[in-house]
Amino acid sequence: MRAPIAPTLLCGCIGAAAGLSAPARPANAGLLDTSQSQVSRRDVMAAGAGASLAAIASASPASAASTSGLASRLSQRDPTQLKNSVFNIPPGPQVYPDFMRGEWGVTMKYRGFLFPSQSIPKEKVVADVGIPGFQKVSIAQVGDVGREVANYRMSIDPKSGLDDRKVSLSTSINAHLGYDAVREVLYDAKDNPNRVSIDFVPNRTRNANRVELFCNARESELVDASASASGQTVFVCSEYIRQVTFGLSQEFGVARQVSGNYAHFWTWRSSEGDPSTITGNLLTAAYLDAQDPLFFEEPSRPVVVYSHDLVAKRS
């Protein structure tokens, strides 16, 4: 079992949209143990101190196309900027820019986590088993948040710029769990871009037989190379997700149902002189559910933020 290590988390990740450079990642920065250990994932997280908020907030924000846009907010390196969002108008599908369209093989590397709440002690947070990320498949896109490396496929239509979620979700979940867990992904971006149904091979994945994803809001911004500090074209996008997970319960004939709320904040950067490679970051902010006893102590800000580094190569 890997020893708990306090990771360097969001340095270079929240600010990635602005092209800020990141410090070197420690060789043993992988924190959550994904082996068959008696130590729970929450216990291991509790042992890690996480990154310093002061260190995250100290970097100067770099230029962005809009001072109020998503890229600018991410460049502030402030977890309080990752507030939950509730919109009454259903968002449209996410359309990706030209430099991201095509077939990709993506390598996702776990970077670390942060407990940003100033109102709820860390000990209370890690004791709350319902928070997304504390159990496998509680965040569908990152089925095991602490897995050090996962390789999956991303397919973006060259004409429409729409992501094939059937490909990206099924291959990512299988890669994070380490076996073929997904039986079918039901998704039609043109019919309803805000709902995804994921069916798992029966009785193979302990925490999930079926997952329903509902997207409540999206935001995106394309920052031209001339406006970014790195000199690279940068695309940032976010999705606010409500996930309902159905699985086996201890009561015969009664399905286990767990709801969770989280948001993905993606940053993708073009590679100068190499269109076959793009790099990026994924921040996942986990929020408390409205039914959680702690909800009114932190109703809109994240209680945990996970970070992953991304490298995609054309396939």
SS3 of 9-42: CCCCCHHHHHCCCCCCCCCCCCCCCCCCCCCCHH
pLDDT interval class at 207 (50, 70, 90): confident
How far is it, in rounded angstroms, from Cα 182 to Cα 166?
Answer: 10
Whether 2 shows a pLDDT value over 90: the answer reads no
How far is it, in rounded angstroms, from Cα 277 to Cα 269?
Answer: 9
Top pLDDT among 188 and 55 is at: 188
Mean pLDDT, the chain, as a whole number?
Answer: 81
Of residues 85, 259, 93, 106, the one with CA closest to residue 171: 106
Residues of the chain with pLDDT > 90, as a percent, come to 64
Residues of the chain with pLDDT > 70, as a percent, come to 75
Q: What is the spatial order of strands in the sheet that 255-270 belongs to?
A: 149-156, 102-114, 304-314, 277-287, 255-270, 234-248, 210-223, 192-200, 182-188
Average pLDDT estimate for 199-228 = 92
How far is it, in rounded angstroms, from Cα 301 to Cα 178?
Answer: 32
Whether 65 shows a pLDDT value over 70: the answer reads no
Average pLDDT estimate for 243-251 = 81
pLDDT at 273: 82
* Range 119-122 contact pairs with CB under 8 angstroms and sequence separation of 24 or more: 119/297, 119/298, 120/294, 120/297, 120/298, 120/303, 122/46
Q: What pLDDT digit, counting tens, does each position of 138-180 carry?
A: 999 999 999 999 999 999 999 999 999 999 999 999 999 999 9
Of residues 174, 175, 164, 190, the one with CA closest to residue 103: 164
What are the residues whose beta carbons fall under 8 Å from the beta carbon of 43, sequence distance 6 or more? 126
pLDDT interval class at 91 (50, 70, 90): very high
**Cα separation of the two ends of the chain:** 34
pLDDT at 297: 95
pLDDT at 67: 57
pLDDT at 72: 86
Q: What pLDDT digit, counting tens, does each position of 265-306 carry?
A: 999 999 878 999 999 999 999 999 999 999 999 999 999 999
pLDDT at 36: 34
Burial (CB < 10 A; 0-12, 13-18, 19+), residue 87, is exposed
Average pLDDT estimate for 234-263 = 86
